[in-house]
Amino acid sequence: MPKYTIGLDYGTNSVRALVVNVANGREVGTAVWNYAHGKEGVILSSDPNLARQHPADYVKGAEVTIVKALEDAAKAVKGFKPEQVIGIGVDTTGSTPLPVDENGRPLAFQKRFAKEPAAMAWLWKDHTGIEEAEEITALAKDIRPQYLAKCGGAYSSEWFFSKILHCKRAHRNVFDAAYTWVECADWIPAMLTGNEAPDKYVASVCAAGHKAMYNDAWGGYPDAQFLSILDPALGKLRERLKDKAHAVDTRAGALSRAWAKKTGLPEGIPVAVAAFDAHLGAVGVGIRPGIFARIVGTSSCDMAVASMDKPPADIPGLCGIVPGSILPGAIGLEAGQSAVGDIFNWFVNYLEPGGAKAGSHEALTKEAAKLAPGASGLLALDWNNGNRTILVDQRLTGVLLGQTLYTTPAEIYRALIEATGFGALTIINRFEEYGVPIRRVLNCGGIAEKNPLVMQIFADIMGRTMEISRSAQTCALGAAIAGAVVAGKKAGGYSSFSAAQKAMTGLKAKKFKPDPKARRVYQEIYPLYKDLHDAFGTKDWNGNLGHVMKQLLEIRAKARK
């Protein structure tokens, strides 16, 4: 009788449950539920930096989607029974911490805080803690530089301690009411297993390592002395955080009776420790050493793993270097581009080029495909939303260079695609310079699914074949793989991620191989991209233009006041 696992994928706007056949990765049932609170699931305010989620949506989302996905599976597979499900894995956004009480219950569930955004989950893209992030970065630079070496040289306003410290300063009543703070990634498995209590839940090393400066090398989370300098209350919080965080091959617990009852799943099946969506997405793509796993959509998440036996040096400009954050027993390396599809969307939706009919993605792609590499004379920088990896600088902006009096929309569209390819190549080169070889590039996500021209240009620019994941739901699939591993071989699952990935992941037959002629042209253009990249992006380049974008942004801020 076939065995199944469930991947639960908590996104920004919705949650998805995916029922996967453990033997072959076949996705037999799925269901999506859009969060009920806020605008498309996100609670906003007049402060453009604020973005929260209501944890009630996490509870309802799991119930609704698991029940529906099981029904969907029963329709697709004759004789399918929920009893065949042997494990559950979870992925979430992050850093998305939420304040909880002594029992691990979210403060937002208390009547007095039901409508208080500070008591909800502070969504990954909440930037209210900008000042606190700068403060944390400055202190770490001063007394704990090792903390920053693993996370790109700066602690972000998107991350755990920036948010908590901001809550302490701006919403004292909420902060004082919280016993501790847990990541959404930690709270979902705790919820499913009845282990919400602060002494019971299991912390995810992916969340702790990438967002909270956790590292076994220095004893876990940042030390209490460091945190106490920021605020004595953070020092106190440190005592309530876990000593140890775990990879996705660890059980967070067993499915509780209550949740078995709600969903129809067997009580007691294991729930894996969660990880962030991109990390389990990379697992679902089939990541292993030598592979660059890319989730390419509006932005890109570019993941690699390195052996723990031969750990790479700290790679400057990487968002995160965390042992066990992607695959257990390997060092997880997280990189990415702040915008990929978003740049193409900007061009199509904001500039609306080509008059009434020639400006759709389809029309521009068709025209751009007819152009030879280099034939436009254009070159762009892919920084319309800043630069996440290598330069780690939000305050960078786009550049388009080379336009004449005859430059067309399709030429610009192609130049923007090429820019995102050059940006990705810059990340690959950085990995390789620091001893992490990139032999293959496996892609998933909306752009990888939908735009063959982009994939071909990426192949020509990166000089590597672009391979595409068979699954369109790699994050949920990766979570289901974690479910199969924590279920174990005896129960019908797997004893290792490599075995589970081999059976459950796959690639599409269509691959995009570099065209040698195009490759040669892009090898001529790339040094020019790199010159612009370094001139505008770095402070110490010989011909520094690094002040130009920054000063324009300062002038802009004044002009808009």
Nearer to a copy of itself, 92 or 397 (CB): 397
Nearer to a copy of itself, 39 or 257 (CB): 39
Q: Does 362 bind a copy of itself (CB under 8 A)?
A: no
Whole-angstrom Cα distance, residue 415 to residue 401? Answer: 9
Q: Does 439 bind a copy of itself (CB under 8 A)?
A: no
Shortest Å, Cβ 558 to a copy of itself:
7
Considering only 177, 412, 419, 424, the residue that binds a copy of itself (CB under 8 A) is 412
Nearer to a copy of itself, 348 or 462 (CB): 348
Describe the crossing of helices 452-462 and 361-369 by its angle, rounded to 10 degrees.
40
- Residues near 143 by Cβ (< 8 Å), separated by ≥ 6? 226, 229
Shortest Å, Cβ 357 to a copy of itself:
9
Extract the tokens encoding 264.
């129809």
Considering only 1, 46, 199, 356, the residue that binds a copy of itself (CB under 8 A) is 356
Output b/e per residue, 509-521; b: 16+ Cβ within 10 A. Answer: eeebebeeebeeb
Nearer to a copy of itself, 83 or 352 (CB): 352
Considering only 48, 79, 355, 516, the residue that binds a copy of itself (CB under 8 A) is 355
Q: Does 558 bind a copy of itself (CB under 8 A)?
A: yes
Shortest Å, Cβ 278 to a copy of itself:
20
Q: Does 269 bind a copy of itself (CB under 8 A)?
A: no
What is the per-residue binding string for a copy of itself in 479-518, x denoting contact by CB under 8 A?
Answer: ----------------------------------------
Give the footprint of a copy of itself on residues 7-36 (CB under 8 A): none
**What distances in angstroms separate CA 162 from CA 61, 124, 135, 211, 341, one per listed residue?**
27, 11, 9, 10, 28
Q: Does 44 bind a copy of itself (CB under 8 A)?
A: no
Q: Please identify, among the stretches 86-94, 336-344, 424-432, 477-485, the one whose residues bind a copy of itself according to the rule CB under 8 A.
A: 336-344
- Pair 157, 108: CB distance under 8 Å: no
Whole-angstrom Cα distance, residue 148 to residue 319? Answer: 10
Nearer to a copy of itself, 313 or 528 (CB): 528
Phi, psi torsion values for 187, nearest 5 degrees? -75, -35
Shortest Å, Cβ 445 to a copy of itself:
18
Nearer to a copy of itself, 379 or 448 (CB): 379
Q: Please identify, among the stretches 183-191, 240-248, 339-347, 477-485, the one whose residues bind a copy of itself according to the rule CB under 8 A.
A: 339-347
Q: Does 197 bind a copy of itself (CB under 8 A)?
A: no
Describe the crossing of helices 497-504 and 474-487 by its angle, rounded to 10 degrees.
130
Shortest Å, Cβ 359 to a copy of itself:
7
Phi, psi torsion values for 553, nearest 5 degrees? -70, -35
Extract the tokens encoding 1.
């009788």
Whole-angstrom Cα distance, residue 139 to residue 147? Answer: 10
Extract the tokens encoding 278.
């991109």
**What distances in angstroms separate CA 177 from CA 110, 139, 185, 299, one per listed residue?**
10, 27, 21, 36
Shortest Å, Cβ 117 to a copy of itself:
24
- Pair 455, 466: CB distance under 8 Å: yes
Q: Any idea how long the chain is?
A: 561
Q: Does 400 bind a copy of itself (CB under 8 A)?
A: yes
Shortest Å, Cβ 360 to a copy of itself:
11
Q: Please identify, among the stretches 43-51, 323-331, 369-377, 449-457, the one whose residues bind a copy of itself according to the rule CB under 8 A.
A: 369-377
Q: Which residue has the tokens 């010159």?
A: 531
Q: Does 555 bind a copy of itself (CB under 8 A)?
A: yes
Shortest Å, Cβ 361 to a copy of itself:
14
CA 448-277-64 angle, to 5 degrees, is 105
Q: Could you tell me whether strands 466-468 and 440-444 are parallel, antiparallel, or unpaired per DSSP bridges?
A: parallel
Three-class SS state of 478: helix
Nearer to a copy of itself, 216 or 352 (CB): 352
Shortest Å, Cβ 392 to a copy of itself:
18
Whole-angstrom Cα distance, residue 8 to residue 88? Answer: 7
- State the number of binding residues for a copy of itself (CB under 8 A): 62
Considering only 132, 342, 393, 460, the residue that binds a copy of itself (CB under 8 A) is 342
- Residues near 313 by Cβ (< 8 Å), separated by ≥ 6? 434, 435
Q: Please identify, among the stretches 84-92, 155-163, 397-405, 463-471, the one whose residues bind a copy of itself according to the rule CB under 8 A.
A: 397-405
Residue of 475, 19, 444 lying closest to 281 (CA atoms): 475
Phi, psi torsion values for 403, nearest 5 degrees? -70, 145
Q: Does 556 bind a copy of itself (CB under 8 A)?
A: yes
Q: Does 374 bind a copy of itself (CB under 8 A)?
A: yes
Extract the tokens encoding 153.
């040289």
Nearer to a copy of itself, 353 or 488 (CB): 353
Q: Does 331 bind a copy of itself (CB under 8 A)?
A: no
Q: Does 408 bind a copy of itself (CB under 8 A)?
A: yes
Nearer to a copy of itself, 204 or 394 (CB): 394
Considering only 345, 366, 433, 489, the residue that binds a copy of itself (CB under 8 A) is 345
Three-class SS state of 106: strand
Extract the tokens encoding 124.
């990954």
Extract the tokens encoding 380.
């762009």
Nearer to a copy of itself, 334 or 411 (CB): 411
Output b/e per residue, 268-303; b: 16+ Cβ within 10 A. Answer: ebbbbbbbbbbbbbbbbbbbbeebbbbbbbbbbbbb
Give the footprint of a copy of itself on residues 519-548 (CB under 8 A): 521, 524-525, 528, 531-532, 535-536, 541-545, 547-548
Q: Does 369 bind a copy of itself (CB under 8 A)?
A: no
Whole-angstrom Cα distance, residue 358 to residue 397? Answer: 26
Applying CB under 8 A, the residues found at the interface with a copy of itself are 339, 342-343, 345-346, 350-356, 358-359, 372-379, 384-385, 397-409, 412, 521, 524-525, 528, 531-532, 535-536, 541-545, 547-549, 551-553, 555-556, 558-560
